[in-house]
Amino acid sequence: MFDKLDDLIKRYEEIQNELADPQVVNDQARFKKLMKESTDLAELVETYNNYKKQKQNIQESLEILDNESDEEMRELAKEELDESKKNVEKLEQELKILLLPKDPNDDKNVCVEIRAGAGGEEAALFAAELYRMYSKYAETQRWRTELVSINESEIGGIKECVFMLSGDRVYSKLKYESGVHRVQRVPVTESGGRIHTSTATVAIMPEAEEVDVKIDPKDYRIDVFRSSGNGGQCVNTTDSAVRLTHYPTGIVISCQDEKSQLKNRDKALRVLRAKLYELELEKAHDAEAAARKSQVGTGDRSEKVRTYNFPQGRCTDHRIHYTSYSLDDVMNGDIQEFIDALTAADQAAKLAEMAGEQ
């Protein structure tokens, strides 16, 4: 591990020297690439330097204990030694996590698709609440939300909606949200007061760049039509909405959120790229069965991931058996505790797998 860390420190120093070179500064593509690599390594370098400092503190404290006769100085050295040993253990664990292979999609923006599942109107109402939950969370992260399409039910629920989230490391935080979300409560449409169980599916797809997914214009058709629903005169009286049909996969994407037909077309293509990229990721995951053992539920829409139990005011993630009793806060977008717990569980599983391979 430490040989690898020393190599990365050396690489970090090389990058800093290159970034100070005027020729590199004038080459924007090269400069941007080096800046990203520098940012990716910065936390690891800082942690490793701190680790080495704590190791040095241990050495100095031991020397004082070996050579010092003054009891007060020896007592201070013992305290310093104990503190430094604790710090070394903590920093070693942090370094192991930082050295785990990075998910290449972590920095990407995402396309989110929410669909009502079993439960009729109640499922649609729950899907609408999930959309609100993720929108609220996005606000706390200062991400940009772009609605692509929405199919609403008669009483204010959502049968299906697609939206894009853009910002800092969006996929790294939301990648564990894919799957079946289950709600248990008395539906507003139920007069008998019985608790029902309904579901909605969530798909988190990393947004793909054109270099990630090549789409041949011959493989899709775009139809234009007049938008419906709220949106004002410009939206409803011009053929600004688009429907994109991808022949090889049968994927159909409708987008009418923008007033501009061109912008709707661009959004539809972004969603198509994300969906095609997700299909490629699924193929890769299926081909790497061993790697999937260390993953905490990313990408499988059929997996039951979480239950929102309103009568008991609790929310439980079934993959890691983690429960929060602050359901109201969760539904208002406070899902960070689940994201942190899932990330920690995934890291622990990968560390255990690496230890087993050694």
Structure tokens at 287: 């081909």
Taking the CB of residue 353, how many other CB atoms lie within 10 A of it?
14
Q: What is the pLDDT of residue 299?
A: 46
CA separation for the pair 187, 168 (Å, rounded) = 37
> What is the per-residue pLDDT across 122-173, written as a single tens digit (0 to 9) for each?
999 999 999 999 999 999 999 999 999 999 988 889 999 999 999 999 999 9
The Cβ-side half-sphere exposure at 245, using a 13 Å CA radius, reads 6
pLDDT for 294 equals 47
Q: In Å, how far are 21, 131, 316, 344, 346 from 341, measured between CA atoms?
A: 42, 22, 12, 5, 9
Residues of the chain with pLDDT under 50: 230-237, 290-294, 299
Q: What was the pLDDT predicted at 352?
A: 85
pLDDT for res 284: 76
* pTM greater than 0.85 (yes/no): no
Give the pLDDT score at 237: 47
Fold classification of 2-98 is Methane Monooxygenase Hydroxylase; Chain G, domain 1 (1.20.58)
Task: Give pLDDT, residue 310.
Answer: 95
Cα 158 from Cα 221, distance rounded (Å): 27
The predicted structure's pLDDT at residue 351: 87
Q: State the span(s) of the chain assigned CATH 1.20.58.
A: 2-98
CA–CA distance, 264 with 259 (Å, rounded to integer) = 8
pLDDT score recorded for residue 147: 93
Numbered ranges of CATH 3.30.70.1660 in the chain? 110-348
Give domain 110-348's CATH architecture: 2-Layer Sandwich (3.30)
What are residue 116's DSSP bridge partners? 200
Looking only at the bridges linking them, the beta strands covering 179-185 and 304-309 are parallel
Distance in angstroms between the alpha carbons of the first and the last residue of the chain: 12
Give the pLDDT score at 291. Answer: 45
Rounded Cα–Cα distance for residues 297 and 305 (Å): 8
